[in-house]
Amino acid sequence: MRLYKLILLFMLSLLVPILLSQDLSQEIYILGNVFKMGDDNLIKGLNVEFPVNASGIRRIEYIAHYVEVSSFFIGKYEVTVGEYKKFVNETSYKIFYQVYHGLDENFWERYEGKDDYQMGYLNYPDMIAYCQWLTNKTGDLYRLPTEAEWEYMARRNSNGRFPWGDTSKKFIIDIKSDKPDDYGRHNSPVSYFSSDITKDGVIGTFGGQETILDFSHTSFYSESPAINPVSVAGFPYARGQKRGYWAKENTNQGVLKRNSISYITKTPRDYYSFRVLRSSYDLIFNENTVTECTYFPKKGICLENNLSLHTKPDQNSSVRGYLFKNSYVDILFKSLSITGESEKSHNWYFIVYTKPFHKNGYTCFQSKTGWIKGSDLKLLEKFWYEEDYSYLLPIQ
Rg for the chain (alpha carbons), in Å? Answer: 22
Q: What average pLDDT does range 354-362 have in this prediction?
A: 79
Residue 83 lies in a domain: no
Q: Are residues 176 and 60 in the same domain?
A: yes
The boundaries of the domain holding residue 269 are 24-76+140-279
Examine the pLDDT at 4 and tell me if it is beyond 90.
no
Furthest CA-CA distance within the chain:
83
Tell me the DSSP string of 234-291: S-EEEESPPTTGGGSS--TTGGG-EEE--SS-S---TTEE---EEESS-----BTTEE
pLDDT band at 44 (very low <50, low <70, confident <90, very high): low
Instruction: Please name the amino acid found at residue 146.
Output: T
Q: Are residues 177 and 207 in the same domain?
A: yes
Taking CB atoms within 8 Å and a gap of at least 24, the contacts of 172-175 are 172/246, 172/247, 172/249, 172/251, 175/207, 175/246, 175/247
Examine the pLDDT at 3 and tell me if it is beyond 70.
no
Examine the pLDDT at 46 and tell me if it is beyond 70.
no
Count up the domains in the chain and report the number.
2
pLDDT score, position 251: 53
Q: Are residues 30 and 150 in the same domain?
A: yes
Cα 231 from Cα 259, distance rounded (Å): 15
Q: Are residues 300 and 365 in the same domain?
A: yes
Strand bridging mode 65-69 / 72-75 = unpaired
| pLDDT 10s digits, 298-317 | 999 999 999 999 888 888 88
| pLDDT 10s digits, 172-223 | 444 444 444 444 445 778 887 777 888 899 988 877 788 999 887 766 777 7
Neighbours of 7 (CB within 10 A): 10
Tell me which residue of 214, 144, 166, 156 sits closest to 35, measured CA to CA.
156
| pLDDT 10s digits, 63-79 | 778 889 999 999 999 99
**CATH no. for residue 179?**
3.90.1580.10
In this predicted model, which residue has the larger pLDDT, 182 or 100?
A: 100
Cα 242 from Cα 261, distance rounded (Å): 13
Reported pTM: 0.83
pLDDT score, position 255: 77
Instruction: Judge whether 7 and 15 are in contact, CB under 8 Å.
Output: no
**CATH no. for residue 331?**
2.30.30
Cα 82 from Cα 225, distance rounded (Å): 37
Residue 234 lies in a domain: yes
Cα 152 from Cα 34, distance rounded (Å): 9
Examine the pLDDT at 84 and tell me if it is beyond 90.
yes
Instruction: Please tell me which of 69-78, 174-183, 332-341, 343-352 the model is most confident about, judged by mean pLDDT.
Output: 69-78
Cα 352 from Cα 392, distance rounded (Å): 14
Instruction: Judge whether 348 and 374 are in contact, CB under 8 Å.
Output: yes
Residue 67 lies in a domain: yes
Tell me which residue of 327, 292, 311 sits closest to 372, measured CA to CA.
311
Instruction: Judge whether 135 and 204 are in contact, CB under 8 Å.
Output: no
Residue 245 lies in a domain: yes
| pLDDT 10s digits, 236-271 | 766 654 443 444 444 556 777 777 788 888 888 887
Q: Are residues 358 and 209 in the same domain?
A: no
User: Under 8 Å CB-to-CB from 344, ≥6 apart: which residues?
Assistant: 336, 337, 338
pLDDT score, position 381: 87
φ/ψ region of 139 (left if φ > 0, alpha if ψ in -120 to 50, else beta) reads left
Cα 183 from Cα 176, distance rounded (Å): 12
Cα 299 from Cα 383, distance rounded (Å): 6
User: Under 8 Å CB-to-CB from 41, ≥6 apart: which residues?
Assistant: none
